[in-house]
Structure 1
Amino acid sequence: MTAKYKVVVAGCGGMANTWVDYAAGREDTEIVGLVDIKKEAALAMAERKSLNCPVFTDVKEAIQATGANLVFDVTIPSSHHGVSATALELGCDVFAEKPLAETMGDCLDIVRRSARTGRTHAVMQNRRYDPRIRAFRKLIAEGTIGRTGFIGADFFIGAHFGGFREAMASPLLLDMAIHTFDQARLITGANPVSVYCHEFNPPGSWYEGNAMAICIFEMSDGTVFNYRGSWCAEGMPTSWEASWRVTGEKGTAVWDGHGELFAEVVAEGDQDGKFIREYTRVPGVLDSMRNTFHHGCLDEMFAALEAGRKPETDCSDNIYSMAMVLAALESAKKGSKVLIREVMEAGPAVQA
């Protein structure tokens, strides 16, 4: 049987293993080519995964030689624009690792190319596909705590990576914060309007650049989102999913990123005159998911192609999560509040 999806995998580093393993589990999908600027990396991937397909050092050549109609872009961030633009122009849909691209100009170009060619470009935001964060969103979306006014996320991890992250100018904001920013958009269903960010490197940090940031975002639904994050916080680590608190008209919803998620809402009955009111706990309910995290996101990407709709993490939506990162960096640089629309209009002038 001829596969419906003929996939070229661009980038054969460690992360590509997850994507290749997923494709191998689909009867309608075949990997028809591997691409890496280091041919030996592509050859190693083919051998490791027992793939009988040609290897290339150029994505255009790979697509044209194999007749691929789908590209997995698992290259380094600086290559995302070039790979995606080439694939879209050659008639391929694209599923790509985050970030969408390194600059707002490149991000916007991908969005425009996707719209003009009619091809899908979706971004891997694997932390959306944790059943707990989706249950947290549902708890809030159902109106359990009423209209929201504040959402807070704390992310404190003492991560000793070594290597390039410890030499980056903004390792937390550039490499990790987009996950939490994107989760905040998922939870609220809102887009960012403005941000004030203070970025710094606290005492004891082993990073050369700023490993801590505090951000205050105004969202399109009027909610204020406060992000406090550190990659050099020793002791009492939060979950990698962050620790969340959302306050609304009728109560508060919390999830520590590890265990149970729940809300406390004002109890029914007359409580007039009480200094502190009585509350009722409302537990969150987990939905069953066939796959989670990376595989869950890939499930959604393929389901969207099948249905002829935009995936949840389509580039036209994901660009707002990327704008949160770039606007936070711009705010930290300026020392003042930055409007998201100004960052998106600035295009190539805003560099990551």
Structure 2
Amino acid sequence: MTQHKIVVAGCGAMSNAWVDYAVNRENAEIVGLVDLFEESAKKMADRRGMNVPTFTDLSQALAETDANLVFDVTIPASHKQIVTTAMLAGCNVFGEKPMAESIADAEEIVRISNETGKRYAVMQNRRFLKQIRTLRDFIGTGVIGTVGSIHADFFLGPHFGGFRDAMESPLIIDMAIHTFDQARFITGADPVSVYCHEYNPPGSWYAGNASAVCIFEMSGGTVFTYNGSWCAEGMNTSWEADWRVTGSVGTAKWDGASDPSAEVVDESKPREFTSGLKKVEAPAKWEGREGHSGCLDEMFEALEQGRPAETDCLDNIKSVAMVFGAVESARTGKKVML
């Protein structure tokens, strides 16, 4: 069995789920902790009862341990440096989203991954939910025919405080990556172009644009629309968004909280002004774990099988391109090719 010897880069609150997973995995061992503020790494080691060295520099940590895997749980601005340093040192990397802070950085990471043969898998935990897997598989059976469009409404009003309140594009940059990636996952289609309008409505507590409308052209002719806000008080959607997928013979819906279902043309009924319809329930077959654990299960399984993970950077860069393409479109007022 492959033994994974892990250095954790970034010892803030977000790293807790990653460390919990590693200490409970039979063939994984944390061999070092890295943080810009070494005291944070030392505190994590003390809290967890881990007798491991702590560092402020990843290169030193990799040189002084026998690590073969890095968990990158640093802030987005550090991802390129952490990931490329690790891969060039011979380590694979699992990291938090987004994979990079710019499309240029993401492309550089992919280049180094290809050159070194090392894998970089990105945390897209919202793919790993039983209901979204059920929706994806349900649509894949052809129950609603050929998919023509997919629509996501996302309306929440979280008062985070801190860095998000000061960001120029908090919704698109910090959150929409999840919904954009989910749209790719549900349809199996990749982005071709985007037109985005960002705005900051009355009552917003964000300095930057906290609302956006996006139209994506996707491969195969599918259209994906995104209508979202992070300063919507009342009548909120779930964090998974509210989805409608239209096909040539029916429509599937998922509110992000309950089980998905569909209405399709009932061929047994005579055609009138509007078609007779029948409701179809989506069978739930996926038995994997959900959230961070499900995504990490896939990352480790892929590494052990010698294949790119579902959320490997070679694929995830397409979701990242949707984010930065939307920002560029909003800035220029033009459609951006992806």
Per-residue deviation, residues 84-142 of structure 1 (Å, max 9, x unmatched): 00000010000010011011111011111111111111000000001111101111111
Unaligned runs of 5+ in 1: 341-352
Is this contact kept in 1: 2:134–2:286, CA < 8 A? no
Which residue of 1 is the match for residue 335 of structure 2? 337
Unaligned runs of 5+ in 2: none
Per-residue deviation, residues 37-93 of structure 1 (Å, max 9, x unmatched): 000100111011111100000001101101100000000000000000000001000
Is this contact kept in 2: 1:3–1:30, CA < 8 A? no
SS of residue paired to 1:7: strand
Q: Matches of 1:111 and 1:10 in 2, distance apart?
A: 20
Q: Matches of 1:288 and 1:178 in 2, distance apart?
A: 23
Which residue of 2 is the match for residue 252 of structure 1? 251
**TM-score in terms of structure 2 length:** 0.98
Shift of 1:336: 1.2
Match of 2:273 among 272, 275, 294: 275
Letter in 1 for 2:220: D
Letter in 2 for 1:334: T
SS of residue paired to 2:274: coil
Letter in 1 for 2:133: R
Match of 2:317 among 307, 316, 319: 319
SS of residue paired to 1:310: coil
SS of residue paired to 1:311: coil
Shift of 1:241: 0.2
Shift of 1:270: 4.8
In 2 relative to 1, CA 3–336 (structure 1 residues): closer, same or farther, beyond 3 Å?
closer
How do 1:88-99 and structure 2 match up within 5 A?
A: 88-99=87-98
1:75 equivalent in alignment to 2:74: yes
1:129 equivalent in alignment to 2:123: no
SS of residue paired to 2:208: coil
Q: Matches of 1:106 and 1:268 in 2, distance apart?
A: 51
Shift of 1:260: 2.2
Letter in 2 for 1:278: G
Is this contact kept in 2: 1:195–1:328, CA < 8 A? yes
How do 1:101-140 and structure 2 match up within 5 A?
A: 101-140=100-139
Q: Matches of 2:131 and 2:273 in 1, distance apart?
A: 33
Which residue of 2 is the match for residue 61 of structure 1? 60
Q: Matches of 1:76 and 1:49 in 2, distance apart?
A: 22
Shift of 1:3: 7.3
SS of residue paired to 2:311: coil
How do 1:1-352 and structure 2 match up within 5 A?
A: 4-272=3-271, 274-340=272-338
Per-residue deviation, residues 214-255 of structure 1 (Å, max 9, x unmatched): 000000121100000000000000000000000000100000
Is this contact kept in 2: 1:289–1:296, CA < 8 A? no
Identity %: 60
SS of residue paired to 1:197: strand
SS of residue paired to 2:220: coil
Per-residue deviation, residues 1-32 of structure 1 (Å, max 9, x unmatched): x9711000000011100000000111111000
SS of residue paired to 2:186: helix
Shift of 1:290: 3.7
Q: Matches of 1:321 and 1:335 in 2, distance apart?
A: 21
In 2 relative to 1, CA 114–63 (structure 1 residues): closer, same or farther, beyond 3 Å?
same
70-79 vs 279-288, which moves further: 279-288
Shift of 1:314: 0.5
Letter in 1 for 2:59: K
Taking only aligned residues, the RMSD between alpha carbons, in angstroms, comes to 1.0
SS of residue paired to 2:7: strand
Is this contact kept in 1: 2:192–2:337, CA < 8 A? yes
Is this contact kept in 2: 1:56–1:62, CA < 8 A? yes
Q: Matches of 2:246 and 2:95 in 1, distance apart?
A: 34
SS of residue paired to 1:221: helix
**TM-score in terms of structure 1 length:** 0.94
Q: Matches of 1:314 and 1:221 in 2, distance apart?
A: 23
Letter in 1 for 2:287: M
Is this contact kept in 1: 2:2–2:304, CA < 8 A? no
SS of residue paired to 1:176: helix
SS of residue paired to 2:112: helix
Deviating 4+ runs (over 6 angstroms): none
Letter in 2 for 1:83: I
Is this contact kept in 1: 2:153–2:243, CA < 8 A? yes
